[in-house]
Each structure stands twice: as structure tokens, then as C-alpha cells.
Amino acid sequence: MESSQIEFTRYINKVKETRAKITPQRMEILNIFLNNKNEHFTAEDIIKRLNTKTGQATVYRTLELFCQASILKKVNFKNEEFLRYDLLDLKNKHFHHHLVCNKCGKVMEINDDFLDHIEFKVLQDYDFITLNHELILNGICKDCQKDTENEK
């Protein structure tokens, strides 16, 4: 495991590449994402978690900046009216996959790509180079499977 300091620097450097200034608020927002890697926060969630008083516009601007810097990605798994933000894993070539439970709405992440075979086939059969992909699998999570069994 790399130290959290090295990891933090790696993400901050991506933001610096956009020539944006690194402010204390921006660092705090980045840390919220780094400390909660499996969450998919809304802007509202971030505002609630911030210790320093930060205006709503600043938070939205920062999230937009992080998307431009390719450290966050906008996601929407359940046709919600608001956006959620997902931290990209800078060490992975492609975006991670998501499992979404139809019953409780829980979202889980899969970090194994699993698609190498498909990517290779697509290159062979369609002469198409896969740069990225978004995969959502809808279904029933482990906990909800148990609940269904108890109902029987």
C-alpha cells in the first residue's frame, strides 16, 4: 500500500496540471474523497462534511475543476436528479465497474477490470481500440437476498 501522503500528492499533481490553485478548501474536499473511496458523494454531501466554512459555489466549482483534472467523474446510477461524484483510481487504466442493488439502492465497486477479453475481441473483430468503459450491473445484493429468503 502506498502511503496516503504519496497518494494525496499524486492527486494534487493532477489538479496542478490544470494550472488551478491549490487552496485549503480544495485539499479538504480531495481528502473527503480519498478517505471515503467507496462512496459516491453529491455536492450536498461534501458541503455537510466540510469543517471549514465553504460556500456552495466554491464546492461546485471545485468539483467541476476536479472533473476537468480527471480525478473525479460524474456518475448517475439510479436516474437521480442530482449528480454524484466518483474518485478515479489513478493507478487503473480504465474506470471501475459498479454493482447497484435494485432493492436497497446500495452501490458497490469492482476494481478488477474483467473486460480484457472483450476489449481484445473488439479490437480483433471491429478494429476498435477501447479507451474506457462504464459498466453498471443491476441486481440484488447479498443482504437483500437474505431478506427475501426470510420472507418465504
Q: Binding residues for Zn ion, per CB under 5 A?
A: 86, 94, 101, 103-104, 106, 109, 113, 115, 141, 144
Reported as half-sphere exposure (CB side, CA atoms, 13 A), residue 80 has a value of 13
Selection from 68, 27, 67, 66 nearest residue 50 by Cα: 27
Q: Which is nearer to Zn ion, 20 or 99 (CB)?
A: 99
Measured on CA atoms in the order 109, 16, 66, 129, is the torsion positive or negative?
negative
Q: How far is the CB of 19 from Zn ion (least distance, A)?
A: 27
Between 36 and 56, name the residue whose CB sits nearer to Zn ion: 36
As measured in angstroms, the least distance from the Cβ of 92 to Zn ion is 8
Question: With contact defined as beta carbons under 8 Å apart, do 137 and 100 qualify?
Answer: yes
Polymer length of the chain? 152
Nearest to Zn ion of 16, 74 (CB atom)? 74
Q: Give the DSSP per-residue string, 65-89.
A: HHHHTTSEEEE-SS--SS-EEEE--
Least CB distance to Zn ion at residue 67 (A): 14
> Closest distance between Zn ion and the C-beta of residue 129, in Å?
11
* Closer residue to Zn ion in complex, CB, 32/144: 144
